[in-house]
Amino acid sequence: MHAFVNGEYIGFAHGSHEEKSFVFEKPVPLKAGVNQISLLAMTIGLPDSGAYMEHRYAGPNLVTVLGLNTGTLDLTRNGWWHQVGLNGEKLQVFTEEGSKQVQWHKTKAVAEGLTWYKTYFDAPEGNDPVAIRMAGMGKGMIWVNGKSIGHHWTSFLSPLGEPTQAKYHIPRSINPKQNLLVVLEEQPAKPKPIEILIVNRDTICSVITEYHPPNVNSWARKDGIFRPVFDVIKTSADIKCPKHKKVVVVEFASFGDPAGICGSFVLGKCNSPVSKEIVEQHCMGKISCSVPIDRKIFSRKNEGCPDIKKTLAIQVKCAI
pLDDT profile of the chain (320 residues), mean per 10:
91 81 89 90 73 78 87 88 90 96 88 89 89 87 95 75 81 93 90 86 92 83 83 86 92 94 90 93 95 88 80 95
Q: Which helix (H) or strand (E) holds 91?
A: helix 87-91
Instruction: State how beta strands 246-256 and 225-228 pair.
Output: unpaired
pLDDT the model gives residue 319: 93
pLDDT the model gives residue 131: 93
What span, in angstroms and rounded, lies between the C-alpha atoms of 232 and 86?
Answer: 56
pLDDT the model gives residue 274: 92
Instruction: State how beta strands 195-198 and 179-185 pair.
Output: unpaired
What span, in angstroms and rounded, lies between the C-alpha atoms of 282 and 291?
Answer: 6
Cβ proximity of 198 and 187 under 8 Å = no
pLDDT the model gives residue 148: 95
* Total residues found in the chain within this entry: 320
- Domains belonging to the chain, first-starting first, are 1-84 (no CATH), 87-198 (2.60.120.260), 203-319 (2.60.120.740)
pLDDT the model gives residue 90: 94
pLDDT the model gives residue 265: 93
